[in-house]
């Protein structure tokens, strides 16, 4: 059981280049998230998708776009990368409990380390 | 928005001793408080969580306490072992996966 799979694991970009981080989950979860992790700042929510077909901004959405391709896949795109986007990016998913409410656990991928020069 | 502060940023304990990490939150509407453990090169993993209708929760060597009035919650690890060495994050949310994380605590257990 793979859980949450992110690709690529490492990427180096030049300022102004674009790229897409891919994420897929095999747990049949409704909700998916993109967080970024920076030293001394914990994890911050970039975008999330509560269910297939919906996406919403999180705390730090500027410079990013997302696509919820289907229930399994949620991609994060940097259209014009900037050095401030150097970070480790984590995709996560969560399901619902037996009564339909938030089940209370995020399942994270292993992260994608992005460096923008 | 929610602001979560976490202390200390680093913690070194002797194997067998206890470790305590404290967090405060700002939004009184937050009602879900998870703790995540992150090992080197891995994604965070949930270790315990507590909801606002409960004051304390235990799971073997780990426990979490919540004081809603003071808006703070704490993680307690007893009888620490080398495998407890990791980065620990507290978080808060209004019962959703849109978590606001603390900055993290690096715990080192000395043998």
- What does the pLDDT read at residue A88? 98
Q: Does A97 have pLDDT greater than 80?
A: no
Q: How far is A116 from A88, CA to CA, in rounded Å?
A: 11
% chain A with pLDDT above 70: 93
Q: How far is B59 from B48, CA to CA, in rounded Å?
A: 7
B6 contacts in chain A (CB < 8 Å):
42
Least confident of A22-31, A94-103, B34-43: A94-103
Suggest the residue from A21, A32, A34, A42 to mutate for an interface test with chain B (most B CBs closer than 10 A).
Answer: A42
Q: Is the CB of A104 less than 8 angstroms away from the CB of B34? A: yes
Q: Does A1 have pLDDT greater than 60?
A: yes
Q: What is the mean pLDDT of residues B12-21?
A: 98
Tell me the average pLDDT of chain B: 95
Give the closest-approach CA distance of A111 to chain B in angstroms: 6
- What does the pLDDT read at residue A96? 74
A102 contacts in chain B (CB < 8 Å):
32, 95-97
Q: How far is B37 from B26, CA to CA, in rounded Å?
A: 22
Got the DSSP string for B33-96? EEEEEE-TTS--EEEEEEETT-SEEEETTEEEEEETTTTEEEEEE-S--GGG-EEEEEEEBSSS
Tell me the average pLDDT of chain A: 93
pLDDT bracket for residue B24 (50, 70, 90): very high
Q: Does A94 have pLDDT greater than 60?
A: yes
Q: Is the CB of A40 less than 8 angstroms away from the CB of B49? A: no
Q: What is the mean pLDDT of residues A3-19?
A: 97
**A107: alpha, beta or left, given left = phi > 0 and alpha = psi -120 to 50?**
beta
- What does the pLDDT read at residue A2? 79
Q: How far is B47 from B36, CA to CA, in rounded Å?
A: 6
């Amino acid at each position: 059981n793979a859980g949450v799979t992110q690709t690529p694991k490492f990427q180096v970009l030049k300022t102004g280049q674009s790229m897409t981080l891919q994420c897929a989950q095999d747990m049949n979860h409704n909700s998916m998230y993109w967080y970024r992790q920076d030293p001394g700042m914990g994890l911050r929510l970039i975008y999330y998708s509560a269910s297939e077909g919906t996406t919403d901004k999180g705390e730090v959405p500027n410079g990013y776009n997302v696509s919820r391709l289907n229930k399994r896949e949620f991609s994060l795109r940097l259209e014009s990368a900037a050095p401030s986007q150097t970070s480790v990016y984590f995709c996560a998913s969560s399901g619902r409990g037996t009564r339909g409410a938030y089940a209370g656990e995020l399942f994270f991928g292993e992260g994608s380390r992005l460096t923008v020069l | 928005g929610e602001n979560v502060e976490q202390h200390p940023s680093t913690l070194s304990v002797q194997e067998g001793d206890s470790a305590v990490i404290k967090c405060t939150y700002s939004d009184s509407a937050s009602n879900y408080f998870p703790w995540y453990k992150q090992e080197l090169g891995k994604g965070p993993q949930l270790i315990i969580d507590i909801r606002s209708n409960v004051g304390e929760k235990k799971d073997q060597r780990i426990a979490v306490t919540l004081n809603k009035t003071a808006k703070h919650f704490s993680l307690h690890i007893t009888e620490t072992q080398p495998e407890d060495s990791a980065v620990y994050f507290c978080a808060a949310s209004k019962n959703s996966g849109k978590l606001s994380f603390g900055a993290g605590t690096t715990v080192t257990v000395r043998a």
